[in-house]
Amino acid sequence: MHRNRYKILLSEAEIRSRVEELARAINTDYSGEELLVVGILKGAFIFMADLVRELTIPIAVDFMDMSSYGASTRSSGEVRILKDLETPVEGKNIIVVEDIVDTGLTLSYIAELLRTRNPKSLRICALLDKPSRRKVDITPDYRGFTIPDYFVVGYGLDYNEEHRNYRDICILQPAQHED
């Protein structure tokens, strides 16, 4: 499949500008503090890489991998841990970096799990927020863009492990996938 079959929702330039703004806000909020940045694999890896390169505060990074989609375009509602953190979080400032908040089930599960580990603080930074699909009460502390109920790919987001490498965020046309 070719990129020209997708409608661009957010351009590379728009994304870059917003990531810089998010990093400035995080730098301000955590000035004089250390931060553990926790990326949620696989979708957030490009966003997280760009974000941490803009941070000027001391950081450490770690990753979690959760699954709630499989090969579908809709969340299954079941959350499974595929990879847990290697870094202890007790007493640390944590920002969880997520590609998209859809139903909120995965992020809510992650936040509750990390809170049981007694961090100093816990905030969420999501590139995309899709509040129309929310099933639980969770709101990112740092939000890149609020989007309508489209299934999007690119900039780390995938459909069936494809399209992560697009520099733009594109709407996946309904004729090109099946639920």
Q: For residue 128, what are the β-bridge partners?
A: 100, 145
Q: Judge whether 129 counts as a catalytic residue.
A: no
Q: How far apart are the first and last CA of the chain?
A: 18
Residue 94: HSE in the Cβ half-sphere, 13 Å Cα cutoff: 28
Catalytic residue from among 102, 129, 158, 168 = 102
Q: What is the DSSP string of 63-101?
A: EEEEES-TTSSS--S--EEEE--SS--TT-EEEEEEEEE
Amino acid occupying residue 52: V
Dihedral angle of Cα 9, 12, 18, 21, to the nearest 10 degrees: 180
Longest dimension (CA), the chain: 50
Q: Which residues are catalytic?
A: 102
